[in-house]
Structure 1
Amino acid sequence: MNRLRQVVALSTVAAMALLSGCNDGSAKTSEQAENEKKEEVAVPVEVASVATGDISAVYSNTTSLEAENQAVIVAKSSEIITEIFVEEGDFVEKGQRMAQLNTDKLTLEVKRAEANLKRLKTELERNRRIYEKKMVSSDTYEKLKFDYQAQKAAYELSKLQLEFASVVAPISGVVSERMVKVGNMVNLNQAMFKVTDFDPLHAVIHVPERELSKLKTNQAAWLKVDAREQQLFTGKILRISPVVDPTSGTFKVTVEIENKNNALMPGMFGRVGIVYANHKDTLLISKDALIAEEQEPTVFKVNDGAVVKVNITTGFEDNNNIEVLTGLNSGDQVVIAGKNSLKDNSKVEILGQSKEADATSLAGLKVN
């Protein structure tokens, strides 16, 4: 009986020890899980909401601006400059006087030609009356008629030379260069001024032949130049060359740019874009949301304080935004900053306010 009691007592002690060990292990496991949960720190990120807006498909290329109308004004006679009426930067109208050459000699030439013309006219009238009476040969009379006509032409030419002493602008525009000074002796056809019409300006680009089907005249275009980084200038395709250069495989496209306020100048370097398609009311996200390392377009979508990788199908893109065809819905939040520290199902802490894709795209430019 005593032996039975000892066995029961030992069994009870062993069971209690085992139960105590199990309780300790369970407590340790729960404590470790809690610690691990506490150790998972939320990654600070910036996010942007998927917006609805318009976006355009654009072909872009670099260019240097050229003036459509530009004229070099040359001297039409060899004389000394007595006056200059315009300076560089002045706007001149077509026909406006820009400089004056000395007219002393030219005035005398006109008077001499006029006097000879009057003399021949009188002589011609006298010989006509004599010729009608058959008192002078027809050869003599005809020669006198030719002399009179030649002198009349000489008189008109001398008047024209006198007019040329006033140097006038052949086109309206801005005096972009003055090459002479008062007192200079100018020779025939010597350059004196350069006048440039600043509106419109032309942006000439050379486009690969594979883009030929996308472009046509009157399509909307825009221009950004380094000197006016905050401004966007609009225009349209003026003409497309009908031939492809076999050496470069490109064709020439001339874009006409509006320049009402003369903010642009010939020679400026910039980038021209031609809008060849528009998508209205489509889903847009910032291009910063794309994960660069992925082979397919992928973003981190925020869901209940964590992120999940989402593959998306993309469409048009511009400088800031990219069109989303599938994979996201309007209002979804995607990570745009802090992506490098994330992995699938990472917890995140959103910094600041959720941004929206900048929908100020070029879709407002019409595709004709």
Structure 2
Amino acid sequence: MKFARLANGLGILLLLGSLWTAACSVEGRAASGQESETANASADSPEAPQEATLVRVQNVLVAPMELKLEATANIESLDSVDVVAERAEPVLEILVEEGDRVRPGQVLARLRSSLASLSLQEAVVRVSEASDELARVQRDHDRNLKLAKEGQTSLISEREVETSAQALLAAKTRVESAKLSRDLAAVDLERCTLTAPIAGTVTARDISLGDMTTMGARVFQIVDLHHPKAIFYRPQRELSLLQVGQKLSATSEAFPGVLLHGEIERISPIVDTQSGTIKVTAAIDPSAAEPPLDLLPVGILVRLELVLDRHEEALLIPKRALLYEGQKVLCYVARDGVAKRIEVIPGFEDPEYLECLPAAGLLATDQVVVVGADRLADGDLLEILQDQPEDEEPAPGETDTAAATTSATTD
């Protein structure tokens, strides 16, 4: 009996397993049929339209672009002279002060000259005495020569004639020596008067009334401030770009709002082997400044700008529109609502724009993508939002709306 019940139970379990397997097979075939129908329906349906990318564009700017060289330098004067005392004498008179303009030979100060004047007078007296002595010796020698020629050998010998000739030569030497002493005394007297060696401006006065000057010590400094120079150094690779006579402009914080003008005066023919730079000297004309200046103080810092080349109708791309792939410079332009990739051929540039040379295929009528370019590929559809340049005036309606918004916020 037990065996019969066990056999019946096993049969029931086998029947239930068979029914479960059949049910799963039917469901699998039904799901496979649905997937096949879905795939067929997808294959038969048309392709979904591509979604446009929202971008902001800006017109290509056509304007002159210049290749500029910028440098900084201190204003210098190549004509700067220290006036030194050549005699140790007390200062009796000072005729100029710092800031005074002087001309060559103008008297700056006078030292005590009484001793030098007496020395000169003494030298003049010695010249007179030597000249008188020379005249006496000359007469004696002439008389001896006359007697010798007349054959009066009993009255004068050849030895006496020779002696008188030597005395004459010595007298002439004493006269020349006396004249030299007189000239030296005159120079010493001139040294008691300090004069300007060049035209310029007195920039330093190192003596006061009553001071005892020291030989070789500076008493005045004179600087030519009306021919200022700016000396700067550039890399040797720029040597071919620089030329004598090139115009430049300059600005300085010492003169806000003043534009200085000048030109390159000299270019050093040698390159510094340690720094690899060349020395450039530029002449600055204060009278040509805008507005004009009387003079330019030595030592002020100026920022120089040289225009090396100029393209009149350059195609300019905002730098925020540029993309970089290795050594390539790229941008996207919007043409007929489609993105077109342009490989930029760089030209000149400034802080905001880069010139694209015409060979790159950029057109003056193109609009470059300035926002959203990093999400684009060549041929993508575009939804364009026009970018408004910062210097463009807003429309009247926009101004009124902004004013109303501000007023409402204030209230």
Normalised to the residue count of structure 1, the TM-score between the two structures is: 0.70
Listed one character per residue, the Cα deviations across residues 117-146 of structure 1 (whole Å, up to 9, x for unaligned) are 111111111111112123652222212211
Tell whether 2:258 aligns with 1:203.
Answer: no
Q: CA deviation digits over 1:318-343, x for unaligned, max 9? A: 4676544346665878799xx69998
- What secondary structure does 1:193 align onto? strand
Give per-residue Cα distances to partners, 1:188-225, cap 9 Å, x unaligned.
22111111112322222222222222223222233333
The answer to whether 1:272 aligns with 2:282 is no
Cα distance between partner residues in 2 of 1:41 and 1:340: 7
Match of 2:119 in 1: 109
The match for 1:85 among 88, 95, 102 is 95
What are the within-5 Å matches in structure 2 for residues 261-300 of structure 1?
A: 261-279=293-311, 281-283=312-314, 285=316, 289-291=318-320, 294-295=323-324
CA contact (8 A) 2:322 2:331 kept: no
Highest RCO, 1 vs 2 (Cα 8 Å, sep ≥ 6):
1
Instruction: Tell me the CA shift for residue 246 of structure 1.
Output: 1.8
- Tell me if the contact between 1:315 and 1:324 (Cα under 8 Å) persists in the aligned partners: yes
The answer on whether the counterparts of 2:137 and 2:164 sit within 8 Å (CA) in structure 1 is no
Residue of structure 2 in register with 1:317 after alignment: 349
1:181 and 2:181 matched: no
Q: 1:264 to 1:108 in 2, by over 3 A?
A: same
Alignment of 1:113-152 (within 5 A): 113-134=123-144, 137-152=164-179
1:1-368 pair list within 5 angstroms: 50-53=61-64, 55-134=65-144, 137-260=164-287, 261-279=293-311, 281-283=312-314, 285=316, 289-291=318-320, 294-295=323-324, 312-318=344-350, 322-326=354-358, 345=383, 347-348=385-386, 350=388, 354=392
Name the CA shift for 1:240/1:350 in 2 (closer, same or farther; >3 Å).
closer
Residue-by-residue CA offset, 1:159-216 (whole Å, 9 max, x unaligned): 1221222211111111111111111111222111111112322222222222222223
- Larger mean CA deviation between 76-85 and 316-325 belongs to 316-325
Larger Rg: 2
Offset, 1:242: 1.9
The structure whose residues are more often strand, as a share, is: 1
Q: Is the 8 A contact 1:113 1:158 kept in 2?
A: yes
| Residue type of the alignment partner of 1:97 | V
* 1:244–1:250 CA contact under 8 A, matched in 2: yes
CA distance 1:285–1:178, shift in 2 (3 Å) = farther
Q: Which has the higher helix share?
A: 2
User: Gaps (5+ residues) in structure 1?
Assistant: 1-39, 356-368
Query: Percent identity among equivalent residues?
Result: 28
Provide the secondary structure at the position in 2 that maps to 1:205. Answer: strand
SS of structure 2 residue aligned to 1:200: coil
Contact 1:198–1:262 (CA under 8 A) maintained in structure 2: no
Q: Tell me the amino acid that sits aligned with residue 187 of structure 1.
A: T
- C-alpha displacement at 1:71, in angstroms? 0.8
Note the aligned Cα RMSD (angstroms). 3.7
CA shift in 2, pair 1:168/1:330, >3 Å: farther
CA contact (8 A) 2:321 2:368 kept: no
Structure 1 residues 163 and 312 mapped into 2: Cα distance closer, same or farther (>3 Å)? same
Please say if residues 42 and 349 of structure 1, whose CA atoms lie closer than 8 Å, have aligned partners that are also in contact.
no
Q: How far did 1:354 drift?
A: 2.1
- Indicate if the aligned counterparts of 2:332 and 2:373 stay in contact, CA closer than 8 A: no
Structure 2 distance, partners of 1:278, 1:351, is 24
Displacement of 1:152? 0.5
Distance 1:192 1:335 in 2: 69
| Alignment-mate amino acid for residue 215 of structure 1 | L
Q: 2:375 and 2:104 mapped to 1: Cα distance?
A: 69
Q: Give 5+ residue unaligned stretches, structure 2.
A: 1-52, 145-159, 288-292, 377-382, 394-411
Contact 1:84 1:182 in 2 (8 A): yes
Distance across 2 between alignment mates of 1:291 and 1:42: 13
Distance 1:293 1:321, change over 3 A: closer
Rounded to whole Å, the distance in 2 between the matches of 1:174 and 1:321 is: 46
CA contact (8 A) 2:322 2:329 kept: no
**What letter is aligned with 1:283?**
A
Secondary structure of 1:228's match? coil
Give the length in aligned residue pairs.
309
What's 1:19 paired with? none
Shift of 1:51: 4.3
Taking a change above 3 Å as real, the CA distance of residues 315 and 181 of structure 1, as seen in their structure-2 partners, is: same
In structure 2, the CA distance between the partners of 1:341 and 1:163, relative to structure 1 (3 Å rule), is: same
